[in-house]
Amino acid sequence: MSERNTVLRSIHDLGLAAWFGGSLMGAIGLNGAAEQQGETELTTARIASSGWDKWTPINVVAIGANLIGGTGLLAANSSRVRRQQGVAASTVAKALLTGAGMAATAYAGLLGKKVKLASSSDPHDADQAGMIPIELRQAQKHLALVQWAVPALTAGIVAINALHGEQQRPSQQAKGMLRRAAHGTFHA
């Protein structure tokens, strides 16, 4: 019943793994190291900002890979999404979690930029910070919460991937398609 989509699945899964792992390591390791090594609130913020700046381009690629792979898998499995009971609901849940994860990641990036500008010793950054009302402690407080939301949301995506893997078992496909047909919700 299923065909192989190894490349798409690998792109999707590697992107998700990097997104989840990088956000979790950053929240625990990078921020923890910055707190340990920073002598003041400003140096702590500078250390964390520097590390997150180095991670951001990789994170963008990871999220893009996850989206490309996920879109390709959805296209490859569109018939099963339509025909197998439960697959459409889990696909919608995955899409919602992915959107929420992307929004949380973007918001964390925005807050991170505010923290970087507010804590920078660069006069150019100080000028920019003066144009954008920034309260360092408030931005850091929000950022600390949002940075934990990203690994939580991406962990949810990992869990739905596990469900999708179970739903692809031939026995599950047959049962799901029979249930959908029995309920009169089968669409060709």
Nearest Cα to Cα of residue 103 among 158, 48, 146, 62:
146
pLDDT of res. 47 = 94
Residues 6+ apart with CB under 8 A from 155: 20
Query: For the chain, what are the domain ranges?
Result: 6-182
Q: How far is CA 105 from the centre of its chain?
A: 7
Can you give the pLDDT at residue 171? 62
Q: What does the pLDDT read at residue 17? A: 98
pLDDT at 152: 97
Banded pLDDT at 188 (limits 50, 70, 90): very low
Write out pLDDT tens, residues 119-131: 877 766 655 655 5
- Model confidence at 98: pLDDT above 60: yes
Counting other chains too, the contacts that 165-169 makes at CB distance below 8 Å and 24 or more residues apart are 167/84, 167/86, 167/87, 167/90, 168/2, 168/80
- Of all residues in the chain, the percent with pLDDT exceeding 90 is 62
CA dist 50 and 183 (Å) reads: 56
- pLDDT above 80 for 59: yes
The mean pLDDT value for 158-163 works out to 94
